[in-house]
Amino acid sequence: MDHSPEPSLDEILTAARARAYSGPAALEEEEALPMVVVTVGGQQFGLAGGPAKEIVASAQITPVPGTPPVIRGVILLRGEIEAVVDLRSVLGLPPIEPDAGSRVVMVEGHALRAGLLVDAVEDVTDVPGGAVMPALASFDDRLRRLSGGTFPYLGRDAVVLDVGRVLAEALDAGGGL
């Protein structure tokens, strides 16, 4: 059994960009990155398919008294209690009440497992590695810190979120996962 650590999102994207810039032969062999495309605050974000493990449609989120706003509560998933992180709060957006379109995307990163509450899940798709470009200079500091780049999605730029960084940001906000 191989116990080597999984490559980080930065390592995967750097390798994919290097292949894309290596010419036509590399483009033919370019790896696709599985991506869960979600919407938060009207913006599309991509969660890499490796860290994104499951989409939960109808989770009953139970608030936990005394937790910071970034921790929306917990859910019971197949007999396990899982923390739910409000991705809106991590991104610096005001919280809203979940509605029928809201989803919890179960993710893993840096030995942590949690659910990310998103406004909606738009798609699960493969993004060519060479299509992921570096984060835009116009991003604010927080988004630049959380982003692994951007990719074109339905005529707009979607932001790739580094799940490990998102979970670390939630921890830093006082949300012990």
Alpha-carbon span 61 to 73, nearest angstrom: 6
Q: Residue 1: what pLDDT?
A: 47
Going by pLDDT thresholds of 50, 70 and 90, the confidence category of residue 177 is low
User: What percentage of the chain has pLDDT greater than the value 70?
Assistant: 81
Q: What is the pLDDT of residues 112-139, one digit of tens each?
A: 899 999 999 999 999 998 899 998 888 9
Domain-located, residue 4 = no
Q: What is the pLDDT of residue 173?
A: 78
**Is 2 contained in some domain?**
no
C-alpha span between 39 and 102 (Å, rounded): 9
Report the number of distinct structural domains present in the chain: 1
Nearest to 9 by CA among 53, 61, 47: 47
Q: Is the pLDDT of residue 84 over 80?
A: yes
* Residue carrying the six token digits 């670390």: 168
Structural domain that includes position 35:
9-172
Q: Is the pLDDT of residue 29 over 80?
A: no
- Predicted confidence at residue 59, as pLDDT, reads 82
Q: What is the CATH number of the domain that holds 77?
A: 2.40.50.180
pLDDT of 154 higher than 60: yes
Residue 149 has pLDDT above 70, yes or no: yes
Long-range CB pairs of 66-74 (<8 Å, 24+ gap) are: 67/175, 68/173, 68/174, 68/175, 69/95, 70/170, 70/173, 70/174, 70/175, 71/170, 71/175, 71/177, 72/117
Contact 85, 74 (CB under 8 A): no
Domain annotation covers residue 168: yes
Q: Is residue 42 part of a domain?
A: yes
Residue type, 104: V
pTM: 0.80
